[in-house]
Structure 1
Amino acid sequence: MIGKDMLISELIETYEEAAPLLAQAGMHCIGCVSAGGETIEEAALEHGIDPVLLVRKLNLHLLHTI
């Protein structure tokens, strides 16, 4: 289960399929240096994205791909 406090680097390492979803949401800097140390919430807020909705979308997608 993904939470808003999860680091972007941890998310991508654990769930590779999350990277395209983040890009679709407008977070195109997944590979940048600062992204690895940011939480999903921090990165989402920095990009003007609601972190709660983003986490819900990620979890729903993962439920349907398992």
Structure 2
Amino acid sequence: MALGRQIYNLLFKRTSTFTLTIVVAAVVFERAFDQGGDALFEQLNRGKLWKHIKHNYEKEE
């Protein structure tokens, strides 16, 4: 209960800190979700993407 009260007083009591908390959380979530989605896409398509197979088609000089 004390931890909840400290978090409330620190982040949610004032409108300005509440707004800043929401914006920072949204940016962090968006970044993590984007990187997770990219990692999942790469894992599911391993061996099919150009960066994985381009050595088969490039000529060596």
Q: What TM-score bracket applies, with the shorter chain setting the length?
A: 0.3 to 0.5
Give TM-score scaled by structure 1 length. 0.31
| Bigger Cα Rg | 2
Query: TM-score when scaled to structure 2?
Result: 0.33
- The answer to which structure has the higher helix fraction is 2
Structure with larger RCO (C-alpha < 8 A, sep 6+): 1
